[in-house]
Amino acid sequence: MYPPTRRTFIRQAACAALGASGLVGTILDLRKLNAATYSVAGDYKALVCVFLYGGNDGNNVIIPHDAAGYAAYASARSVLAIPQSSLLPLILPDGDGRDFGLHPKLPELQSLFNQGKLGIVANVGTLVAPVTKTEYLSGTAAVPPELFSHSDQSVQWQTSAPNEVRVGWGGRIADLLSSVNGNTTVSLTISVAGTNVFEVGNAVIPFQVSPTGGFGLAGFNGTANANVRLQAFKELLAQPHQNLLEKAYADTVTRSIADNEILRAVPLINTTFPNTDLGRQLKMVARFIGGRTNLGMQRQIFFCAVSGYDTHGPQLTAQSGLLTELSQALSAFYSATVELGVDQQVTTFTASDFGRTFRSNGFGSDHGWGNHQFVLGGAVRGGRLYGTFPTLAIDGPDDTGGQGRWIPTTSVEEFSATMASWFGVADSDLPTVFPNIGRFANPNLGFLS
C-alpha cells in the first residue's frame, strides 16, 4: 500500500482510538453480552465492504441517459458533465421508465449490471430518521451530527447509528454470529485496509492483514536458530504479567504471531487481479475465502478501502482513474468468487463518506449527503436500480438548498440491514445490530435473494 496521506493518517488514528474504546467496552460489557446462538451448518457466506474514502461523486457514476434528463444534468454540472455519447447504457427492466448510463470508466461494472450480477441502490445516506426538505430547512428534524465532515460521516456509515461511535455494524453482526465459526482462532472480521470502526464489535476483534500477507516479526525467517528464538519469545510472552499494559501487549503480540501463522493456510488463486491498491486488497480477500474450509469459517466479513475520492480539485481526471481501479478490481473479484464456486455466497458492496454536490465548484465538487452505491454478487437481484433516485434539480425537492446536496431517501440502516438479513441475522436481532431500524419503512430493500 502507498504511504498514508496526512488525512488518511488522521482518519486511521481516529478509527484506532475508537477501536481501543471498543476494547475497553469489551472488558466492561462482556458479561452482559447476550449473543444469540445461530446454526448455519454447511452454509458459507461472506460480506465484503469496499469503502471509498473522501466521498465518491455518485452524480457522475450513474447519469441520466435520455435527452431531457441529460440536458438538466449537463446544465447543472457544467465543467463536470460527462459527454452523453460516452455514457455506458444500462439495460433496465421493461416498464421501468428510466434511462441511465454509467461513467465511461466503468465498463466491467456495466457488463455485470446488464448480466444481472450488480445492483445500484440510489440516494443512500446517514439518517437519524426520515427527513423532508421542509423539516431540514426549518431545523425541526433530527439529523446526523457533523453532516459534511469526512471523519464523522465515514464513522457513521460504518456504525450505522449516528449516536454510536464505539462499534460498527459489521462488528455487531460478528458478535451475534461468531459462534457459527466454531473453535477457529481466526476472527470473523478481517481487514486488509488497516483499522476501521465497521468491524469492531463488543467482543469481536478484527484480524488485520496487509494486501501482500501478514505483518510478521523481523528476524524470524524460519531457520533453525530463528525458530529457537521465536519459541523463547513466545514463552516470555506467556509468562504471568501483573501490569495491565504489559499483559495487554503480551496478549496482542501473541495473537498477532498466531494470526500470522494462520496465513500459511490461505491458498493462492488463479484469477488475475489488477496490480492496484484495491486489486491487491481484493486478491487477498479472495485468498481468505479460498481458505475458508482450512480456516474453519462459515461466516466472514471483510473490509477494503481506498482513498482519494475527495475531489474538490480537477475531478474529471482524478475520478476517471479511481473508477477504473474500482471497476477492474470488483470485476476481477467477482470472477474469483466464480472460480472458487462461491459467487452465490459472497456479496460485495461499496460505501463512502457521503455524496458530492450536484453543482460544480468550478474545478470539482464539494461535500454532499445522499449517494449511490453498488452491490455485487451471485445472490444480488442485479440489473435493477433500488431506492428512489433524487430529482436532479438545484433547489429541487431533494436539495438541502442551492448546491444539490441530496437528502437521502434510503438510510444506511435500510441498506445495511438488507445485507445483514441475507447474511443470517434474524429479524428479531436486527434492532440489536441497527438500533434505529424501526424508524425506517424498509428494513429489507429486496436486492438480495
3-state secondary structure 229-270: HHHHHHHHHHCCCCCHHHHHHHHHHHHHHHHHHHHHHCCCCC
- What is the pLDDT, as a whole number, of residue 265? 66
- What is the pLDDT, as a whole number, of residue 75? 94
Helices 169-177, 412-423: crossing angle, 10 deg rounding: 20
Please give, one letter per residue, the 3-state secondary structure of 212-228: CECCCCCCCCCCHHHHH
Whether the Cβ atoms of residue 201 and residue 22 lie closer than 8 Å to each other: yes
- What is the pLDDT, as a whole number, of residue 37? 57
| Backbone torsion region of residue 411, taken as left when φ is above 0, otherwise alpha when ψ lies between -120 and 50, otherwise beta | beta
Closest CA to 61 of 340, 368, 296: 368
| Cell, residue 212 | 501482500
The residue type found at 394 is I
How far is residue 123's CA from residue 241's CA, in Å, rounded to a whole number?
52
Q: Each residue's pLDDT tens digit in the chain (449 positions)?
A: 334 454 444 444 444 433 333 333 332 333 234 344 576 667 999 999 999 999 999 999 999 999 999 999 999 999 999 999 999 999 999 877 889 999 999 999 999 999 999 999 999 999 999 999 999 999 999 999 999 999 999 999 999 987 666 899 999 999 999 999 998 888 999 999 999 999 999 999 998 889 987 556 777 777 888 889 889 988 999 999 999 999 989 988 887 777 677 776 678 899 999 999 999 999 999 999 999 998 899 999 999 999 999 999 999 999 999 999 999 999 999 999 999 999 999 999 999 999 999 999 999 999 999 999 999 999 999 999 999 999 999 999 999 999 999 999 999 999 999 999 999 999 999 999 999 999 999 999 999 99
Closest CA to 292 of 45, 39, 49: 45
Residue 347 counted as domain residue: yes
Q: What is the CA radius of gyration of the chain?
A: 22
Of all helices (H) and strands (E), which one includes residue 179? none
Residue 448 counted as domain residue: no
- What is the pLDDT, as a whole number, of residue 35? 40
Residue 231 counted as domain residue: no
Whether the Cβ atoms of residue 57 and residue 365 lie closer than 8 Å to each other: yes
Count up the domains in the chain and report the number.
Answer: 1
- Residue 145: other Cβ atoms inside 10 A: 13
SS3 state of residue 316: helix
- What is the pLDDT, as a whole number, of residue 224? 87
Of all helices (H) and strands (E), which one includes residue 373? strand 371-376
How far is residue 395's CA from residue 307's CA, in Å, rounded to a whole number?
30
| Cell, residue 51 | 469503502
What is the Cβ-side half-sphere exposure of residue 78, based on CA atoms within 13 angstroms? Answer: 12
How far is residue 118's CA from residue 110's CA, in Å, rounded to a whole number?
8
Residue 39 counted as domain residue: yes
| Cell, residue 353 | 463518506
How far is residue 390's CA from residue 89's CA, in Å, rounded to a whole number?
19
Close Cβ partners of 396 (under 8 Å, ≥ 6 residues apart) = 390
- What is the pLDDT, as a whole number, of residue 352? 98
Beta bridge partners of 399: 406
| Cell, residue 327 | 471497476
Instruction: Supply the range of the domain harboring residue 156.
Output: 13-215+247-439
How far is residue 340's CA from residue 333's CA, in Å, rounded to a whole number?
11
- What is the pLDDT, as a whole number, of residue 98? 84
What is the Cβ-side half-sphere exposure of residue 129, based on CA atoms within 13 angstroms? Answer: 7
SS3 state of residue 365: coil
- What is the pLDDT, as a whole number, of residue 364? 97
Residue 449 counted as domain residue: no
| Cell, residue 354 | 457521503
What is the Cβ-side half-sphere exposure of residue 133, based on CA atoms within 13 angstroms? Answer: 14
Q: How distant, in Å, are the alpha carbons of 129, 198, 433 from that of 418?
A: 17, 16, 12
Query: CA triplet 127, 7, 367: central angle to 5 degrees?
Result: 40
How far is residue 270's CA from residue 15's CA, in Å, rounded to a whole number?
34
DSSP type of residue 126: -
Residue 445 counted as domain residue: no
Whether the Cβ atoms of residue 148 and residue 367 lie closer than 8 Å to each other: yes
E-strand ranges in 90-218 read 100-102, 118-125, 189-191, 207-208
Residue 7 counted as domain residue: no
Residue 227 counted as domain residue: no
How far is residue 45's CA from residue 43's CA, in Å, rounded to a whole number?
7
CATH assignment at residue 27 = 3.40.720
Whether the Cβ atoms of residue 334 and residue 343 lie closer than 8 Å to each other: yes
